Amino acid sequence: MHQALSTVPALTGSLETDEDALAWAAHDYGDTVHDRPTAVLRPADAADISTVIRHAGVHGLTVVPRGQGHSTGGQAQALGGIVIDMTSLAAIHEVGPDRVVVDAGVKWSDVLRATLPHGLTPPVLTDYLELTVGGTLSVGGLGGASHHHGAQTDNVISLDVVTPTGDVVTCSPSSNRAVFDAVRAGRGRNGVITRATLRLVRAPETVAWHKLHYDSISQLVADQRQLVTAGTFDYVEGQLKLREGRHVAELEAVTFIGSGAGSGDLGGLSFLEAETHTATYWEFVDRLAPGEPVLREAGLWESPHPWCNLLVPNAAVEEVLHHADSALGADLYSDFGLVLAYPLRTDRISTPLLRLPDDDLFFLIAALRYAPSASPEIVNAMQDANARLIGKTIAAGGTLYLDPL
């Protein structure tokens, strides 16, 4: 045990140093970085976090908050330091007509379970909902509605934060603005978010969900640009994948029936075929949940995920996507891997620490790879492919999303 730990002042929660706690904190969804901390704090309140941050500061120990650990590159790990398990703080305090107040360790799926009975939803959701509020507010939080509403960090009313000096402050656009701007997309290094007041909007009961198929990346991208610029749909995403040796290019466009802004007009688009169905809003936003047991069953949930998330300027997106599609052969995909690709509008995002390409539109491009366990050579090949994709993106004026500050 690190000597400094024996002199930590009394806590209401617990500071754990057993093997299980340290191994847990040295693992994340990526399963490629395994930095062991010295201790794990399971706080009972913000005062515990403040006490530990102050004590660690005196002894030169790094402190890193962790949500669900769904990072893929060790972002929530602290080599030799202290990891704060934020899932200990997971209460939903209040649902109001335009806002919800939650602890930072609450998952977005639980936020929705609390707000949907009131007919309300956060305006922007990530594709997967089992991430914590603090975890996504620390990176940005992008989704198919971001071309209307920006990142999740642009939809925050106020935050309670423990600063790197251990002060407990409430911050918002009009109060302690510097803390508010440092902690949103601050990757957990500029303070610990303990509580968030999040903006809510009216939720639709049902959605019209279109999957449009293309035989060309250029047409897919052209249609995505058109939809996002015109704002015709409430949600727009897209993806490239290889299935049974066939390259698939798909655009997802969704209208929120009765509550959205989009007309849902598919006219003038150049897709080959469209599949359309109606779903409840919950089925739509929770659409990745059924895939998790399938991946677990295939042994690909606990295995390495060398993922790569990029923000690519509009002007370079076709070049980067053609590279992603052709250079990444079938050996780098499982039956589940894919390249997510969809456009966002720079003018909708105002979070200072979210580094965007210098273009009116930019694309989130995420190479989501699933490596089998105990196959370091496959992981290496995937990481090499990522490095080439990153090199192309940076050379074209793009940025990395989710990387450590």
Give the residue with the Cβ less far from ligand FAD, 86 or 328.
86
Structure token pair of residue 316: 């370079």
Q: Which of 21, 73, 102, 128 binds ligand FAD (CB under 6 A)?
A: 128
CB-based contacts of 10: which residues, under 8 Å, 6+ apart?
none
Interaction of residue 86 with ligand FAD, rule CB under 6 A: yes
Interaction of residue 131 with ligand FAD, rule CB under 6 A: yes
Q: Is 28 helix (H, G, I), strand (E, B) or coil?
A: coil
Give the residue with the Cβ less far from ligand FAD, 81 or 262.
81
Q: Which of 81, 135, 306, 313 binds ligand FAD (CB under 6 A)?
A: 135
Give the residue with the Cβ less far from ligand FAD, 14 or 62.
62
Give the residue with the Cβ less far from ligand FAD, 108 or 269.
108
Q: How far, in Å, CA of 172 to CA of 156, rounded?
A: 8
Q: Which of 82, 104, 203, 236 binds ligand FAD (CB under 6 A)?
A: 104
Q: Which residue, chain included where needed, has tokens 């509009």?
A: 314
Structure token pair of residue 175: 């109060």
Q: Smallest distance, Å, CB 262 to ligand FAD? A: 19
Interaction of residue 67 with ligand FAD, rule CB under 6 A: yes
Per-residue buried b or exposed e for 218-229, using 16+ beta carbons within 10 Å of the residue's own CB: ebbbebbbebbe
Interaction of residue 159 with ligand FAD, rule CB under 6 A: no
Q: Where would I find the H helices in 13-138?
A: 19-25, 46-59, 108-115, 133-137
Interaction of residue 69 with ligand FAD, rule CB under 6 A: yes
Give the residue with the Cβ less far from ligand FAD, 162 or 269.
162
Which residue, among 106, 111, 104, 105, has the nearest Cα to 125 in the 3D structure? 111
Q: Which of 43, 81, 123, 143 binds ligand FAD (CB under 6 A)?
A: 143
Q: Where would I find the H helices in 27-88?
A: 46-59
Interaction of residue 334 with ligand FAD, rule CB under 6 A: no
Q: Smallest distance, Å, CB 120 to ligand FAD? A: 20
Q: Smallest distance, Å, CB 203 to ligand FAD? A: 18
Give the residue with the Cβ less far from ligand FAD, 26 or 269.
26
Q: Smallest distance, Å, CB 54 to ligand FAD? A: 17
Interaction of residue 321 with ligand FAD, rule CB under 6 A: no
CA angle 245, 249, 251 (to 5 degrees): 150
Q: Smallest distance, Å, CB 294 to ligand FAD? A: 13
Question: Does an H or E element contain 292, and which?
Answer: helix 291-297
Q: DSSP secondary-structure letter at 10?
A: P
- CA 305 to chain centroid: 15
Which residue, among 356, 269, 358, 363, has the nearest Cα to 319 in the 3D structure? 363
Which residue, among 117, 221, 200, has the nearest Cα to 152 in the 3D structure? 200
Q: Smallest distance, Å, CB 27 to ligand FAD? A: 11
Strands of the sheet with 14-16, listed across from one edge: 14-16, 39-42, 82-85, 63-66
Strands of the sheet with 99-103, listed across from one edge: 92-95, 99-103, 192-199, 156-162, 168-171
Q: How far, in Å, CA of 130 to CA of 326, rounded?
A: 32
Q: How far, in Å, CA of 82 to CA of 64, rounded?
A: 6
Q: Which of 13, 43, 65, 122 binds ligand FAD (CB under 6 A)?
A: 65
Interaction of residue 123 with ligand FAD, rule CB under 6 A: no
Number of residues binding to ligand FAD, judged by CB under 6 A: 33
Binders of ligand FAD in range 172-201 (CB under 6 A): 187-188, 192-193
Please classify residue 3 by burial: count the beta carbons closer than 10 Å to its beta carbon, then call 0-12 exposed, 13-18 middle and 19+ buried.
exposed
The stretch among 71-79, 170-178, 215-223, 376-384 that binds ligand FAD (CB under 6 A) is 71-79
The stretch among 140-148, 202-210, 223-231, 355-363 that binds ligand FAD (CB under 6 A) is 140-148
Q: Smallest distance, Å, CB 5 to ligand FAD? A: 20
Site residues, ligand FAD (CB under 6 A): 28-29, 64-71, 75-76, 86, 104, 126-128, 131-132, 134-136, 138-143, 187-188, 192-193, 402
